[in-house]
């Protein structure tokens, strides 16, 4: 007997695959529909372990295609939506901002409209959970934390597109009464992370003896959360969050990029049986990212106090698990770094 049908968008991507796994395994009474366009960042290999489960279905669809999205909603009649599909890499947003407007803004509005279309006569038991980022808040100086009340001040085309999508989500609640919740999470890391992002890129480069490119002076600060802990927070907010509310998700875990990469080098040397100090020699300072936000840091008090949320691992533990996963899944890394990745890498890191 199916208790709920939940449509998860972007479920073949990094975070989405962990959310799909969490829901498929934890809720056998739910039907989980993973809707994904399988862009360069989407990979069904991420879900090999659960793809044959009877409560899991995959649908290939592009959220920018309004007509197709309405058809999918009418066919599957979801009670809940957890929306993660997005263009997610800041550097790509600098070279191709329009792709971010299309997927992150127009795609989100298409999903909101499709949900409104099938739910409008009865919102009882329905919920649209929009997964967003702390980057919408812009940058902090040396001190302070982002709270749910911090004004939006995005700087990159990526964060501007996510901020815009967050505004549309709230507009659908205010205008049509659509039952929404929003989570704004800090930087994630963990298994299946696409190696265009700092941590998996450095793991890949250490394995291949290539330079570790650090933008600017490396003093930029990010707040890192293990991806499985983000999936657990989404589960909690999806089920127990107040309709209409936002929840910041993070682990009070700030690292300057240079210190983080040094810690990664230390752990990689140990795990690869190399003398300490080997990988750190690969660190190379390269030209800075335009509009680079200095510091992100999340105040996760609300989700902790209201919903009892706490991350399950420390950063050192999460990083160790992450490195182990990459060392045990080098085929995955080889597959995603062949083809188009090489071209992207050449253009992004030229000169």
Reduced to 3 states (helix: H, G, I; strand: E, B; else coil), residue 137 is: helix
Question: Among residues 4, 167, 197, 239, which is the contact residue for ligand TYD, using CB under 6 A?
Answer: 197
Q: Which is nearer to ligand TYD, 6 or 85 (CB)?
A: 85
Q: Is 198 in the site for ligand TYD (CB under 6 A)?
A: yes
**Residue 213 interface partner, choices ligand NAD, ligand TYD, none, CB cut-off 5-8 Å depending on type:** ligand TYD
Reduced to 3 states (helix: H, G, I; strand: E, B; else coil), residue 288 is: coil
**Residue 257 interface partner, choices ligand TYD, ligand NAD, none, CB cut-off 5-8 Å depending on type:** ligand TYD
**Residue 103 interface partner, choices ligand NAD, ligand TYD, none, CB cut-off 5-8 Å depending on type:** ligand NAD
b/e for 121-158, b at 16 or more Cβ within 10 A? eebeebbbbbbbbbbbbbbbeeeebbebebeeebbbbb
The answer to whether 71 is a known catalytic residue is no
* Of residues 135, 164, 297, the one with CA closest to residue 221: 297
* Of residues 136, 171, 141, the one with CA closest to residue 157: 136
CB 187 within 8 A of CB 222: yes
Written as six digits, the tokens of 275 are 């003398």
- For residue 71, what are the CA distances in angstroms to 26, 207, 227, 277? 28, 45, 31, 56
The answer to whether 56 is a known catalytic residue is no
CB atoms within 10 A of CB 175: 10
Distance (Å, rounded) from C-alpha 98 to C-alpha 104?
A: 10
Give the nearest distance from C-beta 98 to ligand NAD in angstroms: 13
Q: Which is nearer to ligand TYD, 136 or 236 (CB)?
A: 136
**Site track 203-242 with ligand TYD (rule: CB under 6 A), x = hit:** ----------xxx----x-x--------------------
Contact positions toward ligand NAD, by CB under 6 A?
10, 12-16, 36-39, 41-42, 62-64, 84-88, 103, 107, 131, 133, 162, 185, 187-188, 194
DSSP H helices, 1-89, are: 14-26, 66-76
* Of residues 165, 36, 176, the one with CA closest to residue 109: 165
Q: Single out the catalytic residue among 62, 79, 87, 134.
A: 134
Q: Single out the catalytic residue among 137, 158, 172, 309.
A: 158
Site for ligand TYD in 60-99 (CB under 6 A): 90
The answer to whether 176 is a known catalytic residue is no
Site residues (vs ligand TYD, CB under 6 A): 90, 187, 197-198, 201, 213-215, 220, 222, 257, 289
Q: Which residues are catalytic?
A: 134-135, 158
């Amino acid at each position: 007997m199916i208790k709920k049908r939940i449509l998860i968008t972007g479920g073949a991507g990094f975070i989405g695959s962990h959310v799909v796994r969490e829901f498929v395994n934890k809720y056998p009474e739910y039907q989980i529909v993973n809707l994904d366009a399988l862009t360069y960042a989407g990979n069904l290999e991420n879900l090999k372990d659960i793809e044959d489960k009877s409560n899991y279905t995959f649908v290939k669809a592009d959220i920018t295609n309004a007509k197709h999205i309405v058809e999918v909603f009418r066919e599957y009649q979801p009670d809940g939506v957890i929306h993660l599909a997005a263009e997610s890499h800041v550097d790509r947003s600098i070279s191709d901002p329009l792709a971010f407007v299309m997927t992150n803004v127009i795609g989100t509005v298409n999903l909101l409209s499709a949900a409104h279309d099938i739910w409008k006569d009865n919102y009882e038991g329905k919920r649209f959970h929009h997964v967003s980022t702390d980057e919408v808040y812009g940058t902090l100086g040396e001190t302070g934390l982002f709270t749910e009340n911090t004004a939006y001040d995005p700087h990159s085309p990526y964060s501007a597109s996510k901020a815009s999508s967050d505004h549309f989500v709230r507009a659908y609640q205010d205008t049509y009464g659509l039952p929404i919740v929003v989570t704004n999470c800090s930087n994630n890391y963990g298994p299946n992370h696409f190696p265009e992002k700092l941590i998996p890129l450095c793991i890949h480069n250490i394995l291949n003896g290539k330079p570790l490119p650090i933008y600017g002076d490396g003093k930029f600060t990010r707040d890192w959360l293990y991806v499985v802990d983000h999936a657990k927070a989404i589960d909690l907010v999806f089920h127990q969050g107040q309709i209409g509310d936002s929840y910041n998700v993070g682990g009070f875990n700030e690292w300057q990029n240079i210190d983080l990469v040094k810690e990664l080098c230390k752990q990689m040397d140990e795990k690869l049986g190399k003398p300490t100090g080997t990988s750190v020699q690969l660190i190379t300072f390269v030209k800075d990212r335009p509009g680079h936000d200095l510091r992100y840091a999340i105040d996760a008090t609300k989700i902790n106090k209201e919903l009892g949320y706490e991350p399950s691992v420390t950063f050192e533990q999460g990083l160790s698990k992450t490195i182990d996963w990459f060392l045990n899944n080098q085929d995955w890394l080889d597959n995603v770094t062949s083809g188009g990745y090489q071209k992207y890498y050449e253009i992004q890191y030229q000169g």
